[in-house]
Chain A
Amino acid sequence: MATTVITGRDLSLTIDSKSYDAQATSVTLKTNLERNAYETIDGKAFYALDTTAELSITMLADWGVNSPSYSICELLWGKADSAPNTALAYTFTAATGAVFTGSVYPSFPDAGGTGKDAQTVTFVLQGTAKPTLTIS
């Protein structure tokens, strides 16, 4: 098999029908499988209990930028402020043919930065459930 390389250029993220590609510098979808371990007389046994997911995003801040497009920071802040218990659907493409879908709860993006650099925000969005992977 030839070596395959996929890069950040293959990534794509949409949350609540808004594309994050132009602003996001790093996106990671982490799915955790929680297991209990039991010491039995035959040795250690594991049992899967629950699955959680979280979406970690680092992006260039876009506070105050609503023209000609929209501000992701302000959209997310508005959702976290007005409907924090309403999940937002997301689509996260790792590469063509490998697409994760699910829902995350909104959270408040950070605001701030250093004097020299472009402002960036980092936040973690908690998933409602294990994402669905669609392979095509």
Chain B
Amino acid sequence: MTGLLSIDRISKLYGTSLVPALRKVSFDISAGEVVTLIGESGSGKTTLGRIVLRLTSASGGRVSYDGHDISAYSGAQLREYYRHVQGVFQDPFSSYNPIYRANRVFDLIRTSYFPRIPAPQWQDKIEAALHAVALNPGEVLGRYPHQLSGGQQQRMLIARALLLDVKLLVADEVISMLDASTRVDILNLLVGLKRSGLAILFITHDLSLGHYVSDRTVILRRGAIVEMGDTVEIFGHPQHPYTKNLLAAVPELHKKWRTPAAEAETRAAARNGVDILGNATSAGERSPGGPMAVQPITWRSRWSYRETGHARALEPPPLRSVGPGHLVADDES
């Protein structure tokens, strides 16, 4: 099955950086599919989104949309590409120019894509797009960005994408900056758009959000895929130790990180105290890789280019299949 968008062995090396941001990442996105890209800071998830949006170029590999390599696009072709592929980003507050009214983002679309459309028809189109994102046109049109809430701003950016014939939306941490009470509405909005056939690359560090919206999940670490597959399968039966650690660290309302027994034990140890307080070395002996280990995930320090050499640094750990569509990488930590 060929997807709408196919990401094929994409690598990225940033200028002077010693470590690759992406290492031969490959996966497909089909029409109407939500793929969540999960990773911690520095995992390369945003870089991948930016490559798909042609905001930065890949150092190797290719991204094809509808079977065509997007890196060759320029001018009219690129504009045509953006008619189908749009991005929405984390910080709605900085996506707007504060000195213009917020609906200027729509006018910019009009000048580049619909220069000949008559004004009344354009107005109808805007209103339809705003209704699609559950905004009341009267409440948002003509306002300045600071007069709109974060949720409203984010919805307007999604509406802007909907004005075009958008087939794929790259949503990079779109709700991280929103309040809990409005967050889930944006998620539901994305689910609704997905049902009407929109494919979404949902980039997030938040596993619960990823689980809520997505059909498939790709987990990225150090620029390489560690595990990918059906969302329910990944969350239900994670195979890679990294995925398991990540899932265990997610704060949940009804499940404590630590069991009451372990809790009591640490407290007792803390009260008796002297062993750890008096002895500095014991702190370092805590379960390596456990949550107390310093930066179990941040890797720049331990995993340098110099140690591994260029050729190996770019080579991601091999993926093996453990179930239908469920791929797991070898553990390289």
Tell whether A pairs with B: no
B interface residues, Cβ below 8 angstroms from A: none
